Amino acid sequence: MFSWKDLLIVGLELLAIATLVKSTFAQSRSPIVMFCGPSQASTLLSKAMLKGLSLRAPKFLKKSCPPEFFNPSCSLKVRNSKTLAFCFGSNGFHDNMWKVCTSERFEDVLNLARENGFMFAKENFGNGFQLQYLNQNNFTTFIAFRSAKHTFPTPGSKWYLDIWKSLMRTSRKDLLQLPSGSSLVLLRDHATKLISNNPYGFQRECIAHFLHFWQLLAVALKDMIPVINIDRLLLVKTRADALNELQDAGVCSLDGLEEGRCEVFAAAVFNFSKKPVHLHTGVHFQHEFSTSELFKRRESEYQRKTKCDEVLQQLMSFCKLYIRDCSSILEIYTDGETNFRPKKGQ
């Protein structure tokens, strides 16, 4: 016969084992980092990750920009902000958006991330070097974006002007250190000639959108990083369709999203996408809401206000002619093959 003390000891031991297993399980999973951009419905995907999968969000961030852990402007701690600013840029306040940093500086950033203990973060102003470095250092990464015609004009368009200005200020020497840096220099120089000194509409912002994602997609192709086309994902009619889009993109094979967890994520994305809230639209609808109607409205405004089509087509034509592997990148960016899953050897 066991006494109540013996049973208590056994119970405590079992509880300790269960806690250890749960802790080990959590530690075995890599933190997930989504590389995205302003006005890309990244808040919706972030909410689906954090609430749907109950992932830990970064701590000690300003309420206006969770869960952007790597954004120096978002940190509440001055020391953290200074450490992050050596390697990451942000919306007009730090100028490392198109630069690399030393491995020592990046290790300081990684140590901050490990100390913070988050399991999901998003990065709206990241470059290919940062994506590549995180992917090679036990962080699970993927890219999410939507087309320029569903991005401009929106309230978040102003951040792409910051991205453009930062690109213009970055030296040729710094750009050449980035993955595909020589190609990026060619594209930047040609884009500058296209719009001359008299850009109109949203031409600079649209070019910034293209170059921002062009560089991220170049790394994705090389390193087999999944890419979500948000346009297709938000237009699906069922949860099963949402799951299929994520599976086709390769997201469901990522650490932390395998098996049934990807189904939960897909369901959360589907549910959030049907709600007329700031998570998706950038505005609050006062009437019946649908993503397709929103996209039609965006496309109409894009054609009337942005003046982007011609300059983007010219830049893409230049890219196809003079940049290696540009056709593969454009196939993703232009929705030729929307939910793209890179293949080995590509």
Q: Are 307 and 202 within 8 A, CB to CB?
A: yes
In this predicted structure, what is the pLDDT of residue 22?
37
**What mean pLDDT is predicted for residues 52-71?**
92
Cα separation, 294 vs 280, whole angstroms: 10
Phi, psi of 194 (to 5 degrees): -65, -40
Kindly tell me if the per-residue pLDDT of 326 is higher than 60.
yes
Cα separation, 73 vs 92, whole angstroms: 9
Cα separation, 226 vs 144, whole angstroms: 9
pLDDT tens per residue, range 130-149 = 999 999 999 999 999 999 99
In this predicted structure, what is the pLDDT of residue 279?
52
Percentage of residues in the chain with pLDDT exceeding 90?
A: 69
More reliable by pLDDT, 84 or 25: 84
Phi, psi of 5 (to 5 degrees): -70, -40
Q: Which residues pair with 113 in a beta bridge?
A: none
In this predicted structure, what is the pLDDT of residue 209?
97
Cα separation, 203 vs 169, whole angstroms: 18
3-class DSSP state of 131: helix
Q: Which of 11-15, 48-52, 138-142 shows the lowest mean pLDDT across its residues?
A: 11-15
**Local confidence band at 196 (pLDDT 50, 70, 90 cut-offs):** confident
In this predicted structure, what is the pLDDT of residue 250?
95
Cα separation, 306 vs 285, whole angstroms: 23
Half-sphere exposure of 88 (CA within 13 A, CB side): 30
Cα separation, 270 vs 293, whole angstroms: 16
- Strand (E) positions, the chain? 32-35, 120-123, 140-145, 227-229
In this predicted structure, what is the pLDDT of residue 294?
83
Percentage of residues in the chain with pLDDT exceeding 70?
A: 83
In this predicted structure, what is the pLDDT of residue 340?
35
Q: Which of 298, 307, 330 is nearest to 156 (CA)?
A: 298
pLDDT tens per residue, range 229-281 = 999 999 999 999 999 999 999 999 998 887 789 999 999 999 988 876 445 55
Kindly tell me if the per-residue pLDDT of 25 is higher than 50.
no
Cα separation, 265 vs 249, whole angstroms: 14
